[in-house]
Amino acid sequence: MQSDNPTAAILVIGDEILSGRTREGNAHHLAQVLSATGFDLREIRVVSDDHDRIVAAVRALDGSLGGDYDLLFTSGGIGPTHDDITADAVADAHGTVLEIHPEARALLQARCDRMGVELTENRLRMARVPLGATLIQNAVSAAPGFSIGNTHVMAGVPEVFRGMVDWLIPRLSAGRPVQSQSVEVRRGESDVAEDLRAVAAEFPDLSLGSYPFQDPTGWGTNLVVRGLDAARVDQAMTVLKQRLAL
């Protein structure tokens, strides 16, 4: 699919993802949001809680550091425990140091006061952000994420991550949302492959895909046409249906 939208990558951080203990859903959610709001997601990468690997991944993916994509979104590793090292690694990747951000500290203090608990050193770890970063608001549990360069660092807890995404995405410069149409056919992929290939060749600016499924009534294939121009998507779907005699 031809596109001039900003490109993006997602970096998921955490041993619990790689071990299979936790089912990853944040990247799936963000991928849907990015497609709907005008960003082209090009890569999803998962790394362990390893400082050097996180630094290397941030540098490889964030375009402001010479990486491959315009924007990088991360998930995980900004909590209060010893293995929450994302802030440290992102600071190193961007050549800066961590500080206790005064606004972040105030947000955590206010939440602790409401809950009647002490703002301990462990809780205060969540106020550490790289020098020069700006905060990503967290309406769920107060502890903020942050943005530095083109890296946007968010929590791993799904509810908190989604809240941060909701706050952040409208504040970024987006492109054109992806337009999509689909049709279900009761045929296997092999039976529709030639027609799909022909239409894809006729509309090189679009993305055409086939996705097989099985349900109680048998096999079938979902055919999907995606692009940035709704009229072109509609035209391609019309041609595809004509070829398949639908």
Q: What is the share, in percent, of the chain residues with pLDDT greater than 70?
A: 100
Separation of alpha carbons 183 and 197, rounded Å: 16
Could you tell me where in the chain the CATH 3.40.980.10 domains are found? Answer: 7-171
SS3 for 133-150 is CEEECCCCCCCCEEEECC
**pLDDT at residue 1 greater than cutoff 90:** no
Q: Would you tell me which CATH number, out of the four given (1.20.1370.20, 3.10.129.10, 3.30.70.600, 3.40.50.300), belongs to the domain 180-243? A: 3.30.70.600
- For residue 206, give both structure tokens: 């679009």
Q: What is the pLDDT of residues 68-118, one digit of tens each?
A: 999 999 999 999 999 999 999 999 999 999 999 999 999 999 999 999 999
Do 65 and 57 form a contact (C-beta atoms < 8 A)?
A: no
Do 244 and 192 form a contact (C-beta atoms < 8 A)?
A: yes
Average pLDDT, stretch 157-182? 97
For 83, how many CA atoms within 13 A lie in the half-sphere containing its CB?
A: 9
| 7-171 topology per CATH | Molybdenum Cofactor Biosythetic Enzyme; Chain A (3.40.980)
Q: What is the pLDDT of residues 36-72, one digit of tens each?
A: 999 999 999 999 999 999 999 999 999 999 999 999 9
Separation of alpha carbons 3 and 134, rounded Å: 29
Residue-level pLDDT at 2: 87
Could you tell me where in the chain the CATH 3.30.70.600 domains are found? Answer: 180-243
**pLDDT at residue 195 greater than cutoff 90:** yes
